[in-house]
Amino acid sequence: MEGVEERVEEMREVFRSGKTKSEKWRRSQLMGLQAMVQQEEKTIFEVLQKDLGKHPVESFRDEVGLVIKSINLALSSLKDWMNPKSVKIPLFALPASSSLVPEPLGNVLLFSSWNFPIVLALEPMIGAIAAGNTVALKPSELAPASTQFLADVIPRYLDGCAVKVFVGGAAMGSQLLELAWDKIFFTGSPRVARLVMVAAAKHLTPVILELGGKCPAIFDKLSSSQQEIAARRLVAGKWGPCCGQACIGVDYVLVERRFAQNLIELLRKTVSTMYEDSRNLARVVNQEHFIRLKSLLKDPAVYSSVVFGGGVDNDAMTIEPTILLDPPLDSAIMNEEIFGPLLPIITVENIQDSITFINDRPKPLAIYVFTNDETLRQQVLGGTSSGSVTFNDTMVQFALDTLPFGGVGSSGFGRYHGKFSFDAFTHEKAVMRRHLLLDLPQRYPPWSNLKLDFLRSVYNYDYISLILFTLGLKR
């Protein structure tokens, strides 16, 4: 196989040829992705099981199905997305017209993460291709079966000169970052994101960072039937997505002290029902992360706060779904993104105190709030900052094409999904067309007080004066 620079140069040549700008090419590549995901579904299930122990239903719900949905939207919307959009212009600029013309950025580099190795690779790729770019994909080496699948299969379904997969570890990532790109899209940890930004700065390359953070869930007073529904959605948002290894998964729960024991009992019952069969729960990705998660429980003060679960199987490299009640706030489990099957419950005297608790910490990627109280909803919306807020559910916002997905502050910046993915890899070129018919002398030197009055009317949108100037009635 040719070297990295040679492969990237081939991508640049393809883009310079103009091939990727045509609707025909973009549509053919999206249809190729569509065929790949549909025809290789069984293999996708197999590699996700091998890498992460995901059940096929979870793999379809969280990866395959989302990709199919996104491709279908892009195919049905592509022509509209590509069309220039007319823009209104003020009266003083007439006779003229203006528009925004979407054009591809060029050659883009995508770094995908190991926890959702298919959807986090293909979702941004859909947007990049729909926008008419060439794409270099660097999947995570921590999901080796999925990475090799993408490297083997993508060239069979897509234009191998314009869309390339680069397999390797940190050294491969560093080599790719040394090259100039028109945009870099990174999904992963804040530590690596800093390295990406430093490398991108050398070439003034714009970046999108999809990171994570400690996403809280606020659990307010609810009726008995509503509590059961909320508990199911909370459990699904903690342990359902890849055994808690999800950037928008619930990291901890805030609840009033008087309701804490009732919530714990609800969660115990729900976890036992959903994950009685261990095959329904994905596993920790590797030994390194397994050791990291075990270390979070090593602190005696933390381990003593365990009220459910806590069992560890070193041979199988598994940790039971675990609930902790009020672990020390200065402990690692309350200051690092957990990214695993451990759920702290933090009690507050009044549910409004949860807003202060959240604001005292870095801005999260998502906030989840289970409540019927409209006042609390407005307090959360107006009093906190996060990538998204979801009321009375968890995780579902990721599946909505009409909502952008992205963070704020330390949880990342930039956004994608649906049309937002197309926009993420598009430059909207501002275009103005003027006629050579009317030309007012007031815009040119030599200057005079009268011309100053004219300019004042222009910038104040004083159309009556402008009309008088145009008709020569005001001199």
Which positions are annotated as active-site residues? 210, 247
Q: What is the amino acid identity at position 130? A: A
Contacts of residue 327, defined as CB under 8 A and 6 or more positions apart, other chains included, come to 301, 302, 305, 333, 334, 344
DSSP state of 416: B
406-433 burial, b if ≥16 CB within 10 A, otherwise e? bbbebbbbbbbbbbbbbbbbbbeeeeee
Angle at 134 between CA 100 and CA 118, to 5 degrees: 110
CA terminus-to-terminus distance, the chain: 74
Rounded Cα–Cα distance for residues 404 and 422 (Å) = 11
Scanning 243-352, the segments in alpha helix (DSSP H) are 260-274, 287-298, 300-303
Rounded Cα–Cα distance for residues 442 and 460 (Å) = 16
Angle at 372 between CA 370 and CA 375, to 5 degrees: 105
- Sign of the torsion formed by the C-alpha atoms of 233, 234, 235 and 236: positive
Strand ranges, E, within 57-117: 85-87, 96-104, 107-111
DSSP-assigned states of every residue in 225-270: HHHHHHHHHHHHHHTTTGGG--TTS--EEEEEGGGHHHHHHHHHHH
294-325 burial, b if ≥16 CB within 10 A, otherwise e? bebbebeebeebbbbbbeeeeeebbbbbbbbb
User: Which 3 state secondary structure label does DSSP give 405?
Assistant: strand
Contacts of residue 235, defined as CB under 8 A and 6 or more positions apart, other chains included, come to 267, 270, 271, 274
Rounded Cα–Cα distance for residues 254 and 218 (Å) = 5
Instruction: Report strand pairing: 322-325 vs 318-319.
Output: unpaired
